[in-house]
Amino acid sequence: MSNLQASNDSFKYDDLKHAVETIDREIETLEILKNNLDGNLSKALDLLQNTKGRVIVTGMGKSGDCSAVCTLSLYTRRKQAMAI
């Protein structure tokens, strides 16, 4: 086996190891989220559903990206919304 082939196999192993570690962290985070859900989520959803007029969602950086996704989700449910 050439050194190049050994290097490629090492990269593949490292990539798979990294992927598994990332998925494990995501699972842990989702478990934390699941265990902390309470009535506040229902209150927030009711508030959004019953709001008259437009919902404005804000954020910068990654939270700005999330605000754009939330806006699209609200819009598809016939709720006027905008992200800034």
Q: What is the pLDDT of residues 2-38, one digit of tens each?
A: 454 555 566 677 889 999 999 999 999 999 999 999 9
- Contact between residue 49 and residue 81 where contact means Cβ atoms under 8 Å apart: no
Residue 72 DSSP label: H
- Contact between residue 34 and residue 60 where contact means Cβ atoms under 8 Å apart: no
Q: Where are the alpha helices (DSSP H) in the chain?
A: 3-35, 39-50, 62-76
68 to 34, 46, 53, 77: CA distances (angstroms): 24, 20, 18, 14
pTM passes above 0.75:
no
